[in-house]
Amino acid sequence: MYEILVENMTFNAYHGVYDWEATTGTTFRVDMRIILKDNHFSKDNMQLNLDYTRVVKLINEIAVKQRFKTLEFLAETLCQRCLNFTRVQTVDITLRKKVPKLENSPQWLGVHLVRHQK
């Protein structure tokens, strides 16, 4: 078993339920841990490993090019699509959205999901 990490991937997108979010957009951040079933990293062969760039491209295709109303559904979609990669056992994702500056508000709000292969 080994893990692939995608940390602090930041992008601008237009997710949210409010009209201004669809036009103005905001900054999002993804941290993801992908646990693979078997251990092939001892062999220097990309055919046996999950290419990190495939994960980054998938996040871009879904999180940047599509629009979601809720962070929960976006995170769930990312998890389910990553589980389709060969040998992926578990996907652990934290998805954050930068909050507009309001009085006494946090800098980021987000969700954390863990999904396992069935």
Q: Do residues 8 and 31 lie in contact, with contact meaning Cβ atoms separated by under 8 Å?
A: yes
Domain count, the chain: 1
Could you tell me the residue range of the domain that residue 86 belongs to?
A: 2-116
**pLDDT tens, position by position, 34-76:** 999 876 666 676 666 788 899 999 999 999 999 999 999 999 9
pTM: 0.90
Q: Do residues 6 and 55 lie in contact, with contact meaning Cβ atoms separated by under 8 Å?
A: yes
67/62 Cα distance (integer angstroms):
8
pLDDT at 39: 67
pLDDT band at 105 (very low <50, low <70, confident <90, very high): confident
CATH number of domain containing 86: 3.30.1130.10
From the list 99, 89, 110, 111, the residue with the least C-alpha distance to 37 is: 89
Beta bridge partners of 69: none
pLDDT at 82: 96
Supply the mean pLDDT for the chain: 90
- SS3 (DSSP) at 92: strand
